[in-house]
Chains A and B, each alone.
Chain A
Amino acid sequence: MNIVEADGEALLVAVRKLLIGKGVLTEAELAERMDATDNASPGQGARMVARAWTDAAYRTLMLEDGTKAAEAVNIPMRGMPPLGVLENTDTVHNLIVCTLCSCYPRAVLGYPPFWYKSAAYRSRAVRDPRGLLAEFRTTLPDGVKIHVVDSTADYRWMVLPKRPAGTEGWSAEQLAAIVREGDMVGVTVPSV
């Protein structure tokens, strides 16, 4: 029998026992990573965005070093690829894609939405980003330039969206509640 025909469950148990038996990993490290994977969700990224909107020093840190900014709000980043954060402004809108596979900032956004891995999204994001945004019902003001970020190698990228008007005086918790995963990929923008 070869590895492709092996029973998946039995193979998992065997590989896990080998990794621990040979000292490659400890049970504690494995449990920590499983917890981190289970807890990763767009809510984590949304907390970072809300903090950046309400704390100028945190925003600076986030744009300089996304990994440190995630760790600063207790998101486990050990062993994860470096995180870069790109800011939407009055003149630039960022859109993240991975044309080669499905690189996604899982540590801060969790599992990618189904469309992120589709051939249609991956090919159209780099060729017709404005048409693609229109299908997500996202319209950008005139004069806003689109930066399409094709995530091809060692970094993972997330978008820091613009804080929407009408949220003056809101707490970080209230702000975090309006930030969706699409806002941090750049297919949508937060609104109230």
Chain B
Amino acid sequence: MNFSPGDAVMVKDDWPETRGPVHIRTPHYLRGHKGRVLRYLGDYPNPEDLAFARPAARRPLYHVTFPMSELWPEGTKDDDLVVEIYEHWLERP
């Protein structure tokens, strides 16, 4: 587990969809955006492998929070989004 609650993180600006068949649980609207780790949710088998019946390593899953103003031009700073993101999609900004 590499991140702790409160850590600033950035969702990787990666688009595996452009390279072949994939099953990705990281919504496209978050890629390349900055957020903050809210809580660690446990380790779960990586759905990107599970979906193709490949051996799936357990990966840490976090609840990450993003201010609406970081995601949308009209987003307000007061509201935020909370999303489950696997550790291998997060990097330090």
Q: Which residues of A contact B (CB under 8 A)?
A: 82, 84, 99-100, 126-127, 129-130, 145-155
Q: A148 contacts which chain B residues (CB < 8 A)?
A: 68, 79-82
Q: Which residues of B contact A (CB under 8 A)?
A: 25-27, 29, 41-42, 44, 47, 61, 65, 68, 71-72, 75, 78-86
B81 engages A151 (CB within 8 Å) = no
B25 engages A152 (CB within 8 Å) = yes
B44 engages A153 (CB within 8 Å) = yes
Q: A153 contacts which chain B residues (CB < 8 A)?
A: 25, 44, 47, 61, 84-86
Closest residue of chain B to A94, judged by CB? B82
User: In the complex, given contacts A100-B27, A152-B83, A154-B44, what are 18 additional A-B residue pairs having Cβ atoms less than 8 angstroms apart?
Assistant: A99-B27, A100-B25, A127-B72, A127-B75, A129-B79, A130-B79, A145-B78, A145-B79, A147-B65, A147-B79, A147-B82, A148-B79, A149-B83, A152-B84, A152-B85, A153-B25, A153-B44, A154-B41
Closest residue of chain B to A99, judged by CB? B27
Closest residue of chain A to B80, judged by CB? A147
